[in-house]
Structure 1
Amino acid sequence: MAKSSKARSALSVLVDDPQGRSLGLELASGVLIDRPGRRGWWREPEPLLWVSDDVVGVGALAAYRSSALAAAGLQAVLLQERRGLERWWQDRELVPDRMSDPGDHHVEPVLREFWSRVVPDPEEGEGEEGAGLIAPFGRDWPGLAEPGPGSGPGPEGGPDPEVVACALGDELIESGFLPSPRLALIPAGRGADVPTAMGWGGPTNHENDTALISAVLRSWEDRFGARVVALGFDELHVSVAAPPRTVAHALPVAAEHFAFSPDNIWQGSGSIRAYADEAVTGSDHWGFWWD
């Protein structure tokens, strides 16, 4: 995926200014992880992301998720280790050159294709049980959900999505849901593009071009005030400023989630209907994982 020179130069500043003071930051110690690829005298390393050396606590996102930082082309998120995969971001797990551009994809065709891959097939013996899993929908793609209440601009808009994102980050840290989070800065034009820009491969067993994941996240940003808050090796945590308030509205959102991350339902709630009630209606935290 092509990166703008503005995004590249913003992270490259940290080579000579490790605390980021020229960007209005006061970073603790951290490491710059270079974009993978061939190296030689003719090609200088290109920083892919910056990650703090130490675990961060409550307030970390609020301190760095600013409009000034975003204007400089950097997005702040949390990265979470996994047992056996500590500091997975340093172990050649990131492959940005494999990803396409999120802007080349449209959300509805992406989700329709995802749905077609995961919807139960009665010809493979997934009849009655499969129908119950996706009820009240059938095998045809049900279409995009309506935007969340107060998700649009104007005086009647809902909570500030960035405030909600920082609050969720604090909640995940305080509760121990993220027991060892690191602060990361990634060059990306918007938060939804962070997984693609860093070459994250968490959904590889479902989709190995993370740009399609970002295309869906872009749409959720617009429709539900969603923001990427944290990533693990194969987990993604998103804040939601304008979630559905009724189960009727949540059901088509749950269908999108099933297409996006089927393990949430296959190995979680067990059905779209139960998932809509448990994990979507009124929830300001959408968590996803891929087995």
Structure 2
Amino acid sequence: MATLPNPLPTLAADPSGRSLGLGLPLGRLIDETDDGPWHEPLLWHAEYSASSGAWTALGTPAARTGLLPVLIEVGGSQGGPDEWELMPGEMSYPGDHDPEELLAEYWAYAIEDPDDLDETIAPYDEAWPGPAPAPASLSIDPDRRAAETADALLDEGSWFKEPRLALVPARRSADIPAAIGWTGPMNFEGDTARICAVLRSWEDRFGIRVLALSFDRLVLSVAGPAHDESRGGGRRRRALRVLPGQHHPGGSRNSARVRRTRGAGAAGLVLLVGLTWWD
């Protein structure tokens, strides 16, 4: 795997990013990790709260330089990314993992006790049913969906306390968590790149984008056809069940749900994955 050029060091001497063709507001570079400063910045984020339009205004031109947008929470109890115990050195490369093998593994973990099956996975049982098929076509361009959904989340006053727009050097949106060394799933999965391999599969099939991260929460926008209970319920349950951490061995469950938003006159679909109980 060739090393991906990182434009972020340029911002140390050129904070506005003009040499990259950008016009960034006041922001900060983050290189803090669980093991001290990383050898280069892992991400940049704005100093002030993100508002509707920020994703398109800043994220779209930045993406052309190799810096992909994501919303981050800096107002939670764990603070911002400089306090998230990032571990980039512990991450492998998402492309080195087979997503179907990982999904089968996660499914088996989630269904440790066949006698405890419930409507969460109906009509499936403990046997891994395989990945959901890709739709014939996406209902909207995935990047447009991400921008509209970001605006809708910011407009609606979602779970964000202090949202910031961040920029991450990554090959594709699905790689963002591994690119920064995000450790949200650490108690379940020590290599976030394995989860990113699954996200790559969803990016290819359903047009997902990594929309937001907090210390322990991952939010995805979805460009695929809107969920239909009669036809897509099984697909949605399959997706939620295989997400690591969705079922605590002791019985506790995390908050994973599909939520509809509206932005720019179009219905949006967003998958919110609460990852508080990864143990």
State TM-score, norm by structure 1. Answer: 0.82
Q: 1:57 aligns with which of 18, 30, 51?
A: 51
Helix, strand or coil for the counterpart of 1:47? Answer: coil
Partner of 1:4 in structure 2? 3
Partner of 1:284 in structure 2? 269
Structure 2 residue 78 is the aligned partner of structure 1 residue 98: no
Structure 2 residue 204 is the aligned partner of structure 1 residue 210: no
Partner of 1:154 in structure 2? none
Structure 2 residue 66 is the aligned partner of structure 1 residue 73: yes
Partner of 2:124 in structure 1? 137
Q: Please report how far the alpha carbon of residue 5 of structure 1 lies from its aligned counterpart in structure 2 after TM superposition.
A: 4.7
Task: Verify the 8 A CA contact 2:84 2:182 in the aligned structure 1.
Answer: no
Identity over aligned pairs, percent: 38
Amino acid at match of 2:69: A
- Give the whole-Å Cα distance in 2 for the aligned partners of 1:267 and 1:34: 30
Q: 1:177-188 alignment to 2 at 5 Å? A: 177=158, 178-188=160-170
Amino acid at match of 1:85: Q
Structure 2 residue 101 is the aligned partner of structure 1 residue 109: yes
Amino acid at match of 1:232: S
- Give the whole-Å Cα distance in 2 for the aligned partners of 1:242 and 1:65: 22
Q: Which runs of 5+ in 1 are unaligned?
A: 152-157, 270-274
**TM-aligned CA distance change 1:268 to 1:195, over 3 Å:** closer
Partner of 2:141 in structure 1? 160
- Give the whole-Å Cα distance in 1 for the aligned partners of 2:218 and 2:76: 16
**TM-aligned CA distance change 1:71 to 1:283, over 3 Å:** closer
Amino acid at match of 1:162: D
Amino acid at match of 1:63: A
**TM-aligned CA distance change 1:103 to 1:84, over 3 Å:** same
> What CA RMSD, in Å, does the superposition of the two structures yield over aligned residues?
2.5
**TM-aligned CA distance change 1:262 to 1:5, over 3 Å:** closer
Helix, strand or coil for the counterpart of 1:238? Answer: strand
**TM-aligned CA distance change 1:143 to 1:82, over 3 Å:** farther
The structure that is strand-richer by fraction is 2
Larger Rg: 1
Helix, strand or coil for the counterpart of 2:241? Answer: helix
Structure 2 residue 217 is the aligned partner of structure 1 residue 235: yes
What do the CA deviations read for 1:93-138 (whole angstroms, capped 9, x no partner)?
Answer: 111111110000111001100111111414xxxx2x4244432111
Aligned length: 263
Task: Verify the 8 A CA contact 2:240 2:246 in the aligned structure 1.
Answer: no
